[in-house]
């Protein structure tokens, strides 16, 4: 199947899952929340949305394997693997904070070649394929021209576990707050990356991440002209649990600030 056809089908699947999430949010009961771990929330909405995504993706690329947050399927693909977060921003969702997304990425031979992030509440679908540019609702997007950290707005995620690193994180956060236009904590790593891709933010950093949190957003940011590394400046950002993304112009400065504290 052509990558353009795969992309169109993936967008349709993400929108279908997003429509389900939107409907369920209208009558969601906080008492239906489960805990996978400390502060690690999940609900039937996450699980059912994942089933919608997995079922649709299986139809368009039957040979592909899956890496999914909720583990509704266990399958390794020899060439292709989907990386799926059916509801990125679950804590926002269960509390009624309107920022959460469906994130889907396709990995071919260990490289991300397609990414779709559907932000449910604003009905914004961000997407990209390798070498094909980045888009939001059919409009091309690109990173900001911001030349320095001091002029930048930075996104991050606050730790909700792995608190052994919290003191380092707070020192880093203080440094960036004092040397930028400000810091925002949106609550969905996938959306953070897309907002950097669209020029709404200038950079993003976070630790204790999972592959399904970032895989969809990473290729969108890269195709929008941005840069992504791990905290060491290397390329272990999909599975390495830490990531710095930026408009490229501020990357070395932002990365240097992170490394000064990590």
C-alpha angle 148-150-155 in degrees, rounded to nearest 5:
90
Bridge partners of 156?
205
Please list, in sequence order, all residues whose beta carbon lies within 8 angstroms of the beta carbon of residue 144, skipping any fewer than 6 positions away. 152, 199, 200, 201, 202, 247
- The CA-atom distances, in angstroms, between 209 and each of 54, 60, 163, 186 are 22, 28, 14, 15
Number of neighbours of residue 146 by Cβ within 10 angstroms: 20
Number of neighbours of residue 84 by Cβ within 10 angstroms: 30
Please list, in sequence order, all residues whose beta carbon lies within 8 angstroms of the beta carbon of residue 201, skipping any fewer than 6 positions away. 144, 152, 153, 154, 155, 184, 192, 195
Please list, in sequence order, all residues whose beta carbon lies within 8 angstroms of the beta carbon of residue 2, skipping any fewer than 6 positions away. none
Annotated binding site for Mg(2+): 69, 85, 87-88, 213
| C-alpha Rg value of the chain to the nearest Å | 17
Check if the beta carbon of residue 232 is closer than 8 Å to that of residue 259: yes
Distance CA 136, CA 217 (A): 12
């Amino acid at each position: 199947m052509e990558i353009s056809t795969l992309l169109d089908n993936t967008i349709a699947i993400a929108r279908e899952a997003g429509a389900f999430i939107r409907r369920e949010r209208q009558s969601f009961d906080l008492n239906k929340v489960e805990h996978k771990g400390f502060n690690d929330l999940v609900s039937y909405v996450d699980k059912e949305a994942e089933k919608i995504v997995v079922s649709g993706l299986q139809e368009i690329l039957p040979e592909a394997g899956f890496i999914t947050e909720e583990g509704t399927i266990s399958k390794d693909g020899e060439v292709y693997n989907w990386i799926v977060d059916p509801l990125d921003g679950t804590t926002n969702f269960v509390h009624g904070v309107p920022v959460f997304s469906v994130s889907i990425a396709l990995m071919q031979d260990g490289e991300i070649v397609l990414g779709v992030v559907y932000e449910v509440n604003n009905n914004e679908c961000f997407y990209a394929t390798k070498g094909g540019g980045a888009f939001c609702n059919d409009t091309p997007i690109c990173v900001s021209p911001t030349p320095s950290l001091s002029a930048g707005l930075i996104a991050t995620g606050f730790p909700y576990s792995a608190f052994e690193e919290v003191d380092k994180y707070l020192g880093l956060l203080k440094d960036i707050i004092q040397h930028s236009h400000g810091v925002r904590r949106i609550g969905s790593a996938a959306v953070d990356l897309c907002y950097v891709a669209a020029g709404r933010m200038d950079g993003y950093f976070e630790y204790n991440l999972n592959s399904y949190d970032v895989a969809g957003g990473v290729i969108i940011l890269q195709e929008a002209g941005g840069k992504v590394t791990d905290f060491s400046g290397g390329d272990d950002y999909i599975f390495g649990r830490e990531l710095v993304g930026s408009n490229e112009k501020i990357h070395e400065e932002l990365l240097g600030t992170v490394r000064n504290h990590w």
